[in-house]
Structure 1
Amino acid sequence: MEKIRLYYDKEANTLNVWFDDPEKEYICEETGEEVILIKDKNGKVIGFEKLNFFTSNVNINELPLEAAII
């Protein structure tokens, strides 16, 4: 099982979340809510990109983050 990867692009103001290997990206689908689903060649969602992640100057290092393994 792949690790979940989070990438924040400060200049583009986007957050990318990957559930699988980014190299498997085949096609993207816009949802209309500033979210782009990233799919592999079988149509399985392997990640997403959130556009306009912050609407103000927020320090990403100060965000609360919680993770759990279930």
Structure 2
Amino acid sequence: MEKIRIFYDHKGNTLNVWFDDPEKEMFSEETEAEVILVKDKNGRVIGFEILNFISDPTREDIRIPVEVLMG
């Protein structure tokens, strides 16, 4: 597995998480929960984007808890 990339866009208030190379994105699918699934040419999910991630995007001190599991 490649590195997981996490990017928070303060201006757009979105959180992007990539499990694979973002350059492989071919299309996306929006779910009902303001989550966009990013897929490669084979339809495999390679990442996702969460819309309206922070309820108050004017805050400067955003902390995102992360849990790392290794198998």
Same fold (TM over 0.5): yes
Q: Percent identity at matched positions?
A: 62
Q: Where do residues 1-70 of structure 1 align in structure 2 (5 Å cutoff)?
A: 1-56=1-56, 57=59, 59-60=61-62, 62-70=63-71
Cα deviation, residue 68, structure 1 = 2.7
Structure having the higher helix fraction is: 1
Question: What's the Cα RMSD here?
Answer: 1.4
Unpaired stretches in structure 2, ≥5 consecutive residues: none
State the 1:59 CA deviation.
1.8
Task: Work out the CA distance in 2 between the residues paired with 1:63 and 1:26.
Answer: 28
**What whole-Å deviation, never above 9, does each CA across 1:13-60 have from its counterpart, x for those lacking one?**
000000000000000000021100000000000000000000023622
Q: If the length of structure 1 is used for normalisation, what is the TM-score? A: 0.88
Q: How many residues align?
A: 69
Residue identity opposite 1:12 in structure 2: G
Other structure's SS at 1:28 match? strand
Question: Normalization by structure 2: what TM-score?
Answer: 0.87
Q: What is the alpha-carbon distance in structure 2 between the residues aligned to residue 19 and residue 50 of structure 1?
A: 15
